[in-house]
Structure 1
Amino acid sequence: MEQDYVVDIENLTIRFNLASEKISDLKEYFIKLIRRELMFQEFLALQDVNLKVKRGESWGLIGVNGSGKSTLLKSTCGILKPYKGSIRINGNIAPLIELGAGFDYNMTARENIFLNGTVLGHSRKFMQEHFDEIVDFAELHQFLDVPIKNFSSGMQARLGFAIATMVRPDILVVDEILSVGDYQFQQKCYGRMREMLQGGTTLLYVSHDIDSVRELCNHAIWLEKGRVRKSGLVDEVCDEYMQVNR
């Protein structure tokens, strides 16, 4: 991989095995497993996807539901392993892929800040130093000692984004998480992402809001049924996508 490429994906194929029959309970599942009677249907969520991202670029991933956008992000973050092809990453990743990922719902917001910090590889001392910054950005001062299970989806998004972006990662991965927040907080998050981009952070961004893709990204990749339909400059890709999906 060239030094400037922080993400280098070649001929990526991701395969899932879908059960071809309905199994009513766990006991039946294990009986069929032992007897080798389980039947699966192969599903290729991604097929021969290529993506090369240079340091500091911002890429929007667009496509209808089920096109493979989230699968591509999860593969990039190492959550899903390639069935075929390769993924090479040069830098650290801050993932914001699923709402509530990394949270313990029975713990308070205060406790979850330190828990998430540990997951991201930060020391308790480091999290204490950045604690006020996280709380100020999330605007959740009065809810610090409330369990996460009592938070709305928007409040969870606030906390998750604040933790993930308290430092400037090499690669920021965002998958639709901001769509659950209110307008003012969305704009606040977009502002922080723009600051990060100006500082050299690379962005991989999934959204159905094409206007936000145009605003934040300089490149885009359009996925359709697990394959790349078009990739390149953001306006060219988004214009063609909108013509097809009016």
Structure 2
Amino acid sequence: MADKIITVNNVSMRFNLAEEKTDTLKEYFLKMLTGKLHFNEFLALKNVSFSIEKGESVALIGSNGSGKSTMLKILAGVLYPSEGNVQINGSIAPLIELGAGFDMDLTARENIYLNGAVLGYDHDFMEQNFREIMDFSELWDFVDVPVKNYSSGMVARLGFAIATIVKADILVVDEILAVGDFKFQEKCKARMEKMMGEGTTLLFVSHSEEQVKELCSRAIWLDHGKLMADGPTEQVYQQYAEKMNG
């Protein structure tokens, strides 16, 4: 039997949303301390369970607000579930919010070393891989320009180049192929396919049916936090389309 690399056990994620608007942080804390701040409970995920085997390529699909990104953040360790648990057997490269760890006042050169440290790589390792990161991102002309002057596509290119410099066991990808120009999207896809060919497991979120069908053999459909279907990509997309058009 193949090894399970991701196991999700009855995961629920609860957020408490304030009912009324507060204009300042002081007002928020005053209302909270005096018991005048009331919350609406929002369940982003409801008792979701699934497992993924090593080497699989799986897509999470569903409309906006279905819980896809919340699930990815739980798997990446950014959020902790309100109920249930997840088991990850391997290293993760989370391509969720590319450039989220950048200091926008620093240059690309400085951010490469900073982001590398955040990801757990030492200075010597980043030094050895600096040229490959810059070559892949195609940002040599801007290497000493503060990142705050970059477009969102340029930031994503640099973030992708850093995050994929090491072959992780699991690649967690959220809509990143929607940024940058077509040529760079194809380059990202080629690197992902190379990693998958070397045994990396892919968990992919995208609104692009074409990209999902191209990259993933299996799909998990979430709707308002509930798991609706899990199976071959074509089959699950057919069920999803019927619900959306019904």
TM-score range, shorter chain: over 0.9
| Count of aligned positions | 245
Q: Tell me the equivalent position of 1:55.
A: 54
Q: Indicate conservation of the 8 Å contact 2:157/2:180, yes or no.
A: yes
Aligned equivalents of 1:245 and 1:131: distance in 2? 46
Q: Tell me the equivalent position of 1:168.
A: 167
Q: Tell me the equivalent position of 2:9.
A: 10
Aligned equivalents of 1:187 and 1:224: distance in 2? 29
Q: Tell me the equivalent position of 1:184.
A: 183
CA deviation profile, 1:21-73 (whole Å, cap 9, x unmatched): 11122221121122122111110000011120111111111111111110000
Q: Indicate conservation of the 8 Å contact 2:99/2:158, yes or no.
A: no
Query: Superposed, which structure 2 residues align to 1:116-135 within 5 Å?
Result: 116-135=115-134
Offset of residue 234 of structure 1: 1.3
TM-score (norm 2): 0.96
Aligned equivalents of 1:10 and 1:30: distance in 2? 35
Offset of residue 240 of structure 1: 2.2
Q: Tell me the equivalent position of 1:200.
A: 199
CA deviation profile, 1:177-211 (whole Å, cap 9, x unmatched): 22021111101111111110010001111100011
Q: Tell me the equivalent position of 1:26.
A: 25
Gaps of 5+ in 1: none
Aligned equivalents of 1:166 and 1:234: distance in 2? 29
Aligned equivalents of 1:103 and 1:35: distance in 2? 38
Aligned equivalents of 1:3 and 1:113: distance in 2? 36
* Paired residue secondary structure (1:134): helix
Q: Tell me the equivalent position of 2:157.
A: 158
Code of the residue aligned with 2:132 in structure 1: it is E
Offset of residue 99 of structure 1: 3.6
Offset of residue 229 of structure 1: 0.9
Q: Tell me the equivalent position of 1:111.
A: 110
Offset of residue 3 of structure 1: 7.4
Aligned equivalents of 2:238 and 2:112: distance in 1? 40
TM-score (norm 1): 0.96
Q: Indicate conservation of the 8 Å contact 1:157/1:178, yes or no.
A: no
Aligned equivalents of 1:242 and 1:189: distance in 2? 28
* Paired residue secondary structure (2:191): helix
Aligned equivalents of 1:227 and 1:57: distance in 2? 22
Aligned equivalents of 1:101 and 1:36: distance in 2? 34
Gaps of 5+ in 2: none
Code of the residue aligned with 2:189 in structure 1: it is Y
Offset of residue 230 of structure 1: 0.7
Q: Indicate conservation of the 8 Å contact 1:99/1:153, yes or no.
A: no
Percent identical across equivalent pairs?
56
Code of the residue aligned with 2:52 in structure 1: it is V
Aligned equivalents of 1:3 and 1:233: distance in 2? 17
Code of the residue aligned with 1:164 in structure 2: it is A
Q: Tell me the equivalent position of 1:226.
A: 225
Aligned equivalents of 2:242 and 2:2: distance in 1? 36
Matched, 1:148 2:152: no
